[in-house]
Structure 1
Amino acid sequence: MKTRVTEMLGIRYPIVQGGMQWVGRAELASAVSNAGGLGILTALTQESPEALSREIRRCRQMTDRPFGVNLTILPSVKPPPYVEYVEAIIGEGIKIIETAGNSPKDFIARFKTNDVRILHKCTTLRHALSAEANGVDIISIDGFECAGHPGEDDIGGLVLIPIAARALKIPVIASGGIGDGWGLAAALALGAEGVNMGTRFCAVKEAPLHDNIKQALVRATERDTNLIFRTLHNTGRVLKTSVSNEVVETERRPGGCTFDDIRRLVSGQRGRTALETGDIDAGLVWAGEVVGLINDIPSCEELIERMVAECRQRLATASSYC
């Protein structure tokens, strides 16, 4: 399955694992890469640039195929040492970086000097055009269905993907709401040259999550996500749980709320505890509407091979209508 994305990244199938806090570790990234996709380590899951270097080396012991690193750049009162993380990524010889959040423009020249391919995740066309102008190599366009932060424009993938594919000269990867070969076929038909999946890769055997969390994703329907932080203009999509329900209820109370009102509920450490202990109500579990398409917990290889077969079948069926 050859597209500009597979050619640029040196992968067999145009399927990219999203960078996910606490999930993007060597076990998952190596399994995705070994199965023919592109595995991604999440830089900020590691507590320091030195720890990231060790995780990159650990991943290399598990796969000899290409994998990348995600670096999410967010505004913060006390930001992580982004420059040091960038130097760790380059120093370890990584050739593919996925950036998200704020523009990576401060680091693009450094990456380009070291022949690093840059995938940048955007939720709007205007940001995608800006990233293209700044020199990124591939845009991952995130529809409103996605887990994490879908932006504030609320545009679904069915509209956002072809808008981006028509407007951009560089390749587009479709992200949000994709979890099977039907979605891969749809993305390709809409003009994308690959897909990015986060939530679906949480429900695979190799994902470093407690089985209770994986089973919760299997049980969930497309209606079992919550949109939080809406009133704070930093919308996030998470699994519907008692914790996220309380966040939504707090935001809806008369007079609204401040971040301090919900800080105790949404801390990253509570989310990590939920993922590692399997207590679904211990913290936020980030998940997209694609949970409605998740019915099993296969290996990465089983999932990717099945997706490719389904994609080819759906495209052949669609071609027969012409």
Structure 2
Amino acid sequence: MKNKLTELLNIEYPIIQGAMQYLSRAELAIAVSNAGGLGTIPAMTFRSPEELREEIQKIKSQTDKPFAVNISMLPEVIINELTMKFVDVIIEEKVPVVETSGRSPEELVPMFKENNIKHIHKVSSIRHAKKAQDLGVDAVTIVGFECGGHPGMDDVSSAILFAKASEELSIPVIGGGGICDGKSFYGAMSLGIDGVVIGTRFLLSEEVATSDIYKEKVLSFNENDTTLILRSLNNAMRVANNKQAKRIHDMEAEKASLKELLPVISGIKTYQAILNGEVDDAQLVVGQDIGRIHSVLPVSTIMEELVAGFKAQHNSMTLYFN
């Protein structure tokens, strides 16, 4: 599959694995990149620049394919010292692709350009996509209401955002939200975008190290079992509608402050709960497409099914014109 995104990133398929904090580590990124997509690790999973460097070097030792590092810039109003140290590591290690998210990457754009690092910026609205394009990023990812993680505050569906972004931007557009198989991959690309970012489907891969209890619980969810938390912080987050989500909803209803919420919504606390199988005490980030995922598979199989399903859907659509 060749288009302007695969050529920009030097990948075989226009499929990017979403950065899932604490869960998308080197093993997952390596598997996705080796299968022809773009594997991604999130910098904010690591407590120090040297931990990030070790993970990057692990990836480089096991694949010669491109991969990406995500830099989330929430909730800081300015880019903090740790973020800049992560940027230094990315540049020093010659990471081929970086993805930024959370706020304007204006200060970082020149640094990545000077070092020939392809820069993708993730947004949830057309206005922010246009701003990122004006800043000079190489591509934008736009995510819709259905996605797991942070879908923004506008509640606009992926289909609307994908079609409009492809019409109004000149740089490659990557779409996220609701994409989990060849059928949804084909549907997303038919709206004019240049690639897809997939989180929830890769979350349920063998390369993600979690407890069996966690995977069984997530597989039991359907499309009606997610909810949005943290609207009170203007940072909506789609998660499973479990006891932890209800606990956060109750705190938000009582107008809890960020300071009061932080100990409850801690990412490391959720990760430990996931590892221990205490799934009711974790924010289980999943998209609405969880209702269409029914198995834990190796990344290689997931990638094969995405591509084969895309081709099968294309062939079935051509029958309408015969």
Q: TM-score, normalised by structure 2?
A: 0.95
SS in 2 for 1:291: helix
1:44-69 C-alpha deviation (Å, 9 max, x unpaired): 11111111111100111222211111
Amino acid at match of 1:87: D
Whole-Å separation in 2 of the counterparts to 1:210 and 1:119: 32
Partner of 1:132: 133
SS in 1 for 2:12: coil
The alpha-carbon deviation at position 100 of structure 1 amounts to 0.7
Partner of 2:159: 158
Partner of 2:9: 9
SS in 2 for 1:174: strand
Amino acid at match of 1:92: E
The worse-fitting range, judged by mean Cα deviation, of 73-82 and 163-172 is 73-82
The alpha-carbon deviation at position 231 of structure 1 amounts to 2.6
The alpha-carbon deviation at position 263 of structure 1 amounts to 3.4
Whole-Å separation in 1 of the counterparts to 2:270 and 2:81: 19
Work out whether residues 273 and 282 of structure 1, in 8 Å CA contact, stay in contact via their aligned partners in 2: no
Partner of 2:205: 204
Residues 270/294 of structure 1: CA separation in 2 closer, same or farther (3 Å cut)? same
SS in 1 for 2:108: helix
SS in 2 for 1:68: strand
Q: How does 1:27-46 map to 2 (within 5 A)?
A: 27-46=27-46
Whole-Å separation in 2 of the counterparts to 1:102 and 1:169: 21
Partner of 2:62: 62
Partner of 1:293: 292
Residues 150/5 of structure 1: CA separation in 2 closer, same or farther (3 Å cut)? same
The alpha-carbon deviation at position 260 of structure 1 amounts to 4.0
The worse-fitting range, judged by mean Cα deviation, of 70-79 and 306-315 is 70-79
The alpha-carbon deviation at position 315 of structure 1 amounts to 1.6
Amino acid at match of 2:286: A
Whole-Å separation in 2 of the counterparts to 1:197 and 1:208: 18
Amino acid at match of 1:268: G
Work out whether residues 5 and 193 of structure 1, in 8 Å CA contact, stay in contact via their aligned partners in 2: yes
1:212-248 C-alpha deviation (Å, 9 max, x unpaired): 2222221110011111012332211111211111212
Cα RMSD of the aligned pairs, angstroms, is: 1.5
Unaligned runs of 5+ in 1: none
The alpha-carbon deviation at position 267 of structure 1 amounts to 1.5
Residues 306/60 of structure 1: CA separation in 2 closer, same or farther (3 Å cut)? same
The alpha-carbon deviation at position 80 of structure 1 amounts to 5.3
The worse-fitting range, judged by mean Cα deviation, of 39-48 and 275-284 is 275-284
Residues 314/80 of structure 1: CA separation in 2 closer, same or farther (3 Å cut)? farther
Partner of 2:318: 319
Whole-Å separation in 2 of the counterparts to 1:48 and 1:261: 25
Whole-Å separation in 2 of the counterparts to 1:292 and 1:316: 25
Residues 147/80 of structure 1: CA separation in 2 closer, same or farther (3 Å cut)? farther
Whole-Å separation in 2 of the counterparts to 1:264 and 1:67: 32
Amino acid at match of 1:42: P
Work out whether residues 149 and 236 of structure 1, in 8 Å CA contact, stay in contact via their aligned partners in 2: yes
SS in 1 for 2:140: strand
Partner of 1:93: 94
Identity of aligned residues (%): 38
Whole-Å separation in 2 of the counterparts to 1:211 and 1:64: 31
Residues 263/110 of structure 1: CA separation in 2 closer, same or farther (3 Å cut)? closer
The alpha-carbon deviation at position 109 of structure 1 amounts to 0.5
Q: How does 1:1-322 map to 2 (within 5 A)?
A: 1-76=1-76, 79=80, 81-253=82-254, 256-322=255-321
Amino acid at match of 2:188: A
Amino acid at match of 2:243: S
Whole-Å separation in 1 of the counterparts to 2:304 and 2:81: 37
SS in 2 for 1:106: coil
The alpha-carbon deviation at position 283 of structure 1 amounts to 2.2
Amino acid at match of 2:37: G
Q: TM-score, normalised by structure 1?
A: 0.95
